[in-house]
Amino acid sequence: MKVSICSRKEIEEIIDSGNFPENTAVISYYDPKIKKIDKDYSHVDYSGVCENVFYSELDDLDLEVIKRKGLTYNKYFPEADKIAEFIYNAYNNGMDIICQCEYGQSRSAGTAAAIMEHFYKSGIWVFADYKRYPNQVVFHKVFEALENYRKNK
């Protein structure tokens, strides 16, 4: 399984070019904060190019900010278990995965690192890429959910 990381701009260019890769699933993060500022903002539209998309409206927060917002680790990102199931379905069907968020640096990078670490023990490549700033909470939540999914199946 090939795991890629894309920003909104990069994935929209791929979609517009007509070169969206076949046999690919997408995990697409979008920002609730932007939606409050721009009423026309929504997630990337994958209709017509990809049938296997998991959309997640998730703030890009670290542990300190989560605490300041009155959340806990357990209450932040409750969709992690569903994303793990989505990832395993893609994996079992021989699909590649694109992880996409607004800038392709944090939530998508944390997710890609978790997938690579879980399946191939090679998630460190994402953390070592200076273009990326993987969200560590997203990484831990997805990795933990993938580990639990494997144990329970």
Task: Judge contact between 109 and 10, C-beta under 8 A.
Answer: no
Q: Is the pLDDT assigned to residue 41 strictly greater than 70?
A: no
Higher pLDDT, 43 or 25: 25
pTM, to two decimals:
0.94
Sequence spans of domains, the chain: 3-152
CATH no., domain 3-152? 3.90.190.10
Residue 90: Cβ-neighbour burial (10 angstroms; 0-12, 13-18, 19+):
buried
| Separation CA 71–CA 89 (nearest Å) | 30
**How confident is the model over 10-22, as pLDDT tens digits?**
999 999 999 999 9
**How confident is the model over 67-102, as pLDDT tens digits?**
888 889 999 999 999 999 999 999 999 999 999 999
pLDDT cut 70: percent of the chain above it: 94
